[in-house]
Structures are given as C-alpha cells and as structure tokens.
C-alpha cells in the first residue's frame, strides 16, 4: 500500500504544478480537474511517453491528458479499436488468427488469417454490428505483464503462429498482454480505458497482405476500418471521403480533358491537353499581370544549365546523385543538367551588370519549368511530378528591405487567394533553432533582422500564423502558405524563403551608399509552388466548377435542331469577337442530351437557340448552378457575361 501522505508533483501542459497522491492515474488527475475531462480522457502522456490513462504515476512528472483532439489520443483510440475488431472477428469466425493491428493515418487495420473462411464487403455490416455490441458492454482494457514463457504457452495453446513469431523478437520482462472481454492480445499498449468510448464503427476495405510484408510468407487478410466517438463524426468523415473522391483532380482532369499522362512520354511528366492549356494560360496571365503591378521583371532562362552552374550553387553536391543525370554532348568535356531550380540562372542574371543600392530590390520573375527525379512510388497526379513549372521569382534586396518585400509578397498571395476563392488560409513561420545556431550560415545579426522582419510583416498583414523553431533551412528563415479547401482539407502551397547562401556562392554584390561592396539578400518566392500543384488544388477545391474567367469552355451554344445551325454559328462568331470562348454543339442529339453533356463538362453558360431566339435575335440562357435566366438579346448576354468574368 502507498502511504496516504506520499505526494507527487504533476506539471500540466499549461505549466501549472499540482500535487496528487503517489500512484494516481491519468484518469484520477482528470477526474479532479473536471468530470467532463474524465469522460474524454483516452490516454496520458507522462514525461513524453503515451501510456494507459489507468496506469499509476509514481513519481514527479510532466503529464498531458490526451483526448480525441490530440493526434496521439486518436491513434490510441484507433489502435484500441483494432482490438475490438479482433474480438468481434473471434466471436464471428472461430479459429481466426491474428497478425498485427496498428492505427494508421485515419483509422486502423488488422491483418488476420481466417483459415480459408470467405470474407468480403458483404460481411462488413455483421462485423460492425458485433463491434458495437461489444463496445456497449464497456469492457475495460486490462494490462497484464507476462513472462515470455507464459506468453509462449498461451499462444501455443491458442495455436496462433503469428503471435508466436512476434514473441520471438521480444525480450523477457518487456512483454504485456491486454484483455478486454473474452479477447486477449499480445500488445505493448497503450489503450483507451474501455470499449465504451467507441460509438461508431465502419469497415472500409479488405486487401491481401503478406505476413511481415514478405511475399515468401503466407498472405493474410488486411481489414481496414475506422471508428469514432460519435456517429455524427463518422457520418461526416464518410461524406467528406465521398466528396474527395468526386473531386479527385486525377479523375476530373481526365473527364474534363485537362491533362493526361503517357507511359511512352514518361511517368510524372504531364501532358497539357488543349482545355487544360487554356486554363493554365489564363492563370499564368493573371499572375503575370499581378506581378508586373507588384514591380517584378519577367525573365526567361533555358531548361538546362552547365553542370558547373550547379556545382557553384551546391545543388550538384546535395542532390546530384538522386537527380536526372547529366546530359552529354559530342564534346567530352562538357555536361549539362536539366534544371532542378531556377535560382542559379537568376543569380547569373543579377551578375550581368554592376548593381547599386539604388537598383534594389531587383525582382526577377519566371514561369520556370524544372525537373526533379521523384521516386516512382511518390508520383501522384499533378501534385507530385517530375517536370513542373514554378511560379518562381527571386528578389535581390538590401537587408533593410526584407520586411517590406515580405509584406509585398504577402499582399500578392492574398490577392490571388481571394480572387480564386480560398478564404481560409494560414502560414507557418520557420525560424532557427536558438539552441543550435552553429548549424546555420549567415551572421547572427542578419538572422535576427530577417526573422523579426518576417514576424512583423506577417503580423502587420494580419496573416494567421504558427511559428516553428528549428524548422528554418540552414540558409535562412521562411514563411509557408497553407489553404483549407471547400471540404476542409489542408493543402501546403509555396514558400517565401530568405537565402544567405546563394549570394555567397555566386559572390553577388552591390555598391552601397557608403561606396563599399555589400552582399544582397536573396528571397526565393514561389507562392503556389508550381502551376501543376496549384491547378490540382484548384480542381479539388472547385470540383471542376472553375470561376468563369478560368473555365476552358465558358459557353456552349445548343441549337434545338439543325434548322438553327446558321444562327448558332453567327452567334458563336459574335461572342468570339467579344473574347468569349466555347463551342457550338452541332451533334444530331436531342436538346436534353446536349444540356446534360454540357452540365457534365461543367460549362458555366448554356445558350439555347431555337425558333423564337433566331426570330428575335435573342438567346435562352442557363447558368450552371443557377438554372434558367430566361431569354435575352445577345448584347445583354455579353454584358452579363463581361460583368461576371472581370477579375
């Protein structure tokens, strides 16, 4: 027994220190704070280690009580649910044997050997119902340390070769069992207090998986599932999953004929189809215009550069081995690289003439296509590719101009976000690790100036930010943008990055007011990362319903029959003259079919023409998402269109 008066000091995340009797559990501590907290505690993090909320704490400790709102709380919930799934399977499929059952990013799986009993989607409901039936019994997860010999004896008797295989790798004295209800598993934990927390369960998928990932071993059945503490949260998750599937840019890219991939051209090298090219050019022109207004000078540089350029920049040393390999020429002494970054080229542009402090900032912008050899397993639609076009720019400025330049870039980024309908955005400021300053190049003074410049610029622009220490690159601090899309997913966009390294490597200089040579600061800036990635996000955010000005086909003219083809064609030409893009649907199809197809292709305006329209010189207008706008004279439609298309 622990003496009543023995107390331990517990430090909570807010820094407050409280005393509790030695042997108190996370759950005891939660109960003393509030009943509500006690009902929601899933696990406790004690001195950095996640453990059962029901395990005693015997010494002074930092304690964080984990709930559903903590990633580690969720992981504990889902891993505990894997035990519940196993319990349900054992009840329904006698003799089932178990491999491993970890939590994954969303949910969990268990690898099981059903001994030849069939298992498919049709069986999901039965298992879900059993899981919930067991969950309602509020069975406790009971931890029990076991000797290795006893553990082996248990699974030999049960006849589970996989657990015996796992036990082989474990040292005596480290082994624990966990039981809930009639089910016992080999596991180091931690788990939630009892199964009653699990209120909703859904089996998601079933697949084959070799034991220990080795194809020489037996293939087990991997059952993926997800659980939630509320049915409503599961429903929301399933709804978002369906929405995400509908919005997948790879699917929509194909359906809307925006881009394609060809094995013959090469993996990760997107081919922009005519409609996608229209979209992309519109977007580029929009950014180009905004950049000219913000004082950028456009430049164009080649797709390759001599290997020596990248030896100077340091890219060769750092990435050479893992990149596309050098390009040979008939001259054995020369080698070229596909450009992985535009910066070295822009440094050479800076050096084409002497620069004075009065010339700065110099802002060089390029839609520069770069090539990086991503592993084939990493490739994904337009978001991970091997050739892509950055909305790149490099700002060369004096140290005292960093803040102002950051403010201007933030302005530009927010202007574009607002125009494109991203209203929920945030940024991360990445600073030096103050404990380990030796890791970074550039003087203390420069770093402090740049870091406070970024922090102040973001604050003055009202940008919601989080600050991360130690996340800066070795060559400078940075600001990364994130947006949340229409269905709540977070996307990482591009960066504004201070660089003290390349100006040194390229020996960039300017003559200061003191008539002395100084080194400029370089700021890399690709707010959207790449056109490819940004368009992918745009597709997924809008579900393919682009704003009118970006839509590849803005109008579809739909004659009711071939009698009205001439009128439709005349109409088309007059709209084209007003810079309105689209097509006339001259197929021998019913009007209903033509409307449906235009809907599927997400054409914003449908212009229906028949007897009445051709006689009166009007069009019948349907706006996607709004329905029938009635008939109007052509001139009125052009006005309506032009009012909407303005950005």
Q: Which is nearer to Zn ion, 343 or 483 (CB)?
A: 343
Phi, psi for 201 (deg, rounded to 5): -140, 140
Compare residues 343 and 427 and give the one whose CB is closer to Zn ion. 343
| Residue in 97, 249, 343, 347 annotated catalytic | 343
CB of 95 to Zn ion, least distance (A): 21
Catalytic residue (choose from 83, 222, 249, 372): 372
Min dist CB 476 to Zn ion, Å, is 11
User: CA–CA distance from 415 to each of 401, 484, 499 (Å)?
Assistant: 21, 16, 25
Residues annotated within the binding site are 343, 394, 524
Which residue number, 12 or 294, has a Cβ lying nearer to Zn ion? 294
Q: Which is nearer to Zn ion, 187 or 223 (CB)?
A: 187
Site of interaction with Zn ion (CB under 5 A): 187, 343, 524
Catalytic residue among 346, 394, 403, 432: 394
> Which one of the listed residues 130, 315, 345, 524 is annotated catalytic?
524
Residue by residue, DSSP assigns 135-175 as HHTT-B-EEEE--HHHHHHHHHHHT-HHHHHHHHTS-TTS-
Distance, in Å, from the CA atom of 347 to the CA atom of 305, rounded to the nearest integer, reads 13
Q: DSSP string spanning 207-233?
A: EEEEGGG-TTSPEEEEEEEEEESSHHH
Query: What is the nearest approach in angstroms of Zn ion to the Cβ of residue 189?
Result: 6
Question: Which residue reads 């803005």 in tokens?
Answer: 554
Question: The tokens 């996640």 sit on which residue?
Answer: 50
Q: Which is nearer to Zn ion, 142 or 591 (CB)?
A: 142
Question: How far is it, in rounded angstroms, from Cα 117 to Cα 473?
Answer: 54
Q: What is the DSSP track for 482-502? A: EEE-TTS-EEEEEEEEEESSH
Phi and psi at residue 582, to the nearest 5°? 165, -150
Nearest distance from C-beta of residue 524 to Zn ion, angstroms = 3
Smaller CB distance to Zn ion: residue 187 or 200?
187
- The total of other beta-carbon atoms located within 10 Å of residue 313's CB is 21
Burial classification of residue 407, based on how many CB atoms lie within 10 Å of its CB (0-12 exposed, 13-18 middle, 19 or more buried): middle
Taking the least distance from each CB to Zn ion, the nearer of 524 and 594 is 524
**Shortest distance, position 80 Cβ to Zn ion, whole Å:** 7
Which residues are known binding-site members for Zn(2+)? 343, 394, 524
DSSP string, 62-110: EEEEE-TTSHHHHHHHHHHHHHHHHHHHHHHSTT-EE----B-SSSEEE
CB of 34 to Zn ion, least distance (A): 28
Q: Which is nearer to Zn ion, 80 or 618 (CB)?
A: 80
Q: How far apart are the C-alpha atoms of 3 and 498, rounded to whole Å?
A: 59
Cβ-based nearer residue to Zn ion, 130 or 394:
394
What does the block give as tokens for 426?
């945030």
How many whole angstroms separate alpha carbon 10 and alpha carbon 111?
39
Whether 79 is catalytic is no
Q: How far is the CB of 518 from Zn ion (least distance, A)?
A: 21
The minimum distance between CB 486 and Zn ion, in angstroms, equals 31
Pick from 352, 365, 440, 356: which is nearest to 395 by CA? 365
Which is the catalytic residue, given 390, 401, 497, 554?
390
The two tokens of residue 37 are 């907290």
Angle of CA points 313, 315, 316, to nearest 5°: 105
Question: Between residues 396 and 641, which has the closer beta carbon with respect to Zn ion?
Answer: 396
524 is catalytic: yes
Shortest distance (Å) from residue 342 CB to Zn ion: 6
Which residue in 45, 202, 315, 478 is the catalytic one? 478
Do the Cβ atoms of 457 and 451 come closer than 8 Å? no
Strands 605-609 and 555-559: parallel
For tokens 């009580």, what's the residue? Answer: 65
**222 annotated active-site:** no
Q: How far, in Å, CA of 481 to CA of 488, rounded?
A: 16
Cβ at position 346, least distance to Zn ion in Å = 7
Burial classification of residue 514, based on how many CB atoms lie within 10 Å of its CB (0-12 exposed, 13-18 middle, 19 or more buried): exposed
Torsion sign (Cα): 514, 516, 521, 522:
positive
d(CA 204, CA 128): 10
Active site residues: 343, 372, 390, 392, 394, 478, 524
């Amino acid at each position: 027994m622990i003496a009543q008066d023995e107390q331990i000091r517990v430090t909570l995340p807010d820094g407050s220190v409280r005393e509790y009797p030695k042997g108190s559990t996370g759950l005891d501590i939660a109960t003393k704070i509030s009943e509500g907290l006690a009902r929601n505690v899933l696990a406790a993090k004690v001195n950095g280690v996640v453990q059962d909320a029901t395990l005693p704490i015997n010494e002074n400790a930092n304690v964080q009580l984990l709930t559903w709102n903590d990633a580690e709380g969720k992981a504990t919930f889902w891993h505990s649910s894997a035990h519940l799934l196993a319990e349900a399977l054992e009840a329904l499929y006698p003799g089932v044997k178990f491999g491993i059952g970890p939590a994954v990013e969303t949910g969990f799986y268990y690898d099981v050997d059903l001994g030849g009993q069939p298992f498919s989607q049709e069986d999901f409901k039965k298992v879900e119902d059993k899981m919930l039936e067991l969950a309602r019994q509020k069975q406790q997860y009971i931890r029990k340390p076991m000797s290795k010999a006893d553990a082996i004896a248990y699974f030999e008797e049960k006849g589970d070769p996989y657990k015996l295989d796992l036990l082989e790798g474990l040292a005596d004295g480290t082994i624990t069992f966990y039981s809930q209800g009639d089910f016992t598993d080999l596991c180091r934990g931690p788990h939630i207090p009892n199964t009653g927390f699990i209120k909703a369960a859904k089996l998601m998928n079933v697949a084959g998986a070799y034991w220990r990932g080795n194809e020489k071993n037996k293939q087990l059945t991997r059952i993926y599932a997800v659980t939630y503490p509320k049915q409503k949260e599961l429903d929301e998750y399933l709804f978002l999953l369906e929405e995400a599937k509908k919005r997948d840019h790879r699917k929509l890219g194909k359906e809307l004929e925006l881009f394609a991939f060809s094995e013959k051209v090469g993996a990760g090298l997107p081919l922009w189809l005519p409609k996608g090219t229209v979209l992309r050019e519109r977007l580029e022109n929009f950014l180009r215009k905004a950049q000219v207004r913000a004082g950028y000078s456009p430049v164009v540089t080649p797709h390759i550069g001599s290997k020596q350029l990248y030896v100077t920049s340091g890219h060769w040393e750092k990435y050479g081995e893992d990149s596309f390999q050098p390009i040979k020429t008939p001259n054995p002494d020369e080698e070229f690289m596909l450009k992985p970054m535009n910066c070295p080229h822009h440094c050479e542009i800076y050096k084409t003439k002497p620069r004075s402090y009065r010339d700065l900032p110099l802002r060089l912008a390029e839609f520069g296509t770069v090539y990086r050899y991503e592993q084939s397993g990493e490739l994904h639609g337009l978001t991970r590719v091997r050739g892509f076009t950055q909305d790149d720019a490099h700002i060369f400025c004096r140290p005292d101009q960093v803040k102002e330049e950051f403010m201007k870039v933030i302005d530009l980024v927010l202007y574009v976000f607002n125009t494109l309908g991203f209203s929920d955005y945030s940024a991360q400021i990445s600073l030096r690790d103050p404990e380990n300053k030796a890791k970074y190049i550039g003087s203390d003074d420069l770093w402090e100036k740049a870091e406070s410049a970024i922090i102040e610029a973001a604050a003055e622009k009202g940008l919601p930010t989080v600050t991360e220490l130690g996340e800066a690159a070795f060559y400078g601090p940075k600001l990364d943008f994130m947006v949340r899309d229409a269905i709540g997913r977070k996307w990482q966009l591009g960066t504004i990055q201070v660089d003290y390294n390349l100006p040194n490597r390229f020996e960039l200089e300017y003559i200061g007011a003191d008539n002395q040579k100084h080194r400029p600061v370089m700021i890399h800036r690709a707010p959207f990362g790449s056109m490819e990635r940004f368009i992918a996000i745009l597709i997924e955010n809008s579900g393919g319903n682009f704003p009118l000005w970006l839509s590849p086909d803005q109008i579809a003219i739909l004659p009711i029959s071939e009698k009205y083809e001439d009128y439709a064609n005349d109409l088309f030409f007059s709209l084209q003259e007003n810079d309105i893009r689209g097509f006339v649907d001259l197929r021998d199809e019913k009007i209903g079919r033509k409307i449906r197809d235009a809907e599927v292709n997400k054409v914003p305006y449908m212009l229906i023409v028949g007897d009445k329209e051709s006689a009166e010189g009007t069009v019948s207008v349907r706006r996607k998402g709004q329905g029938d706008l009635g008939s109007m004279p052509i001139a009125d439609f052009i006005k309506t269109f032009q009012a909407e298309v303005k950005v």
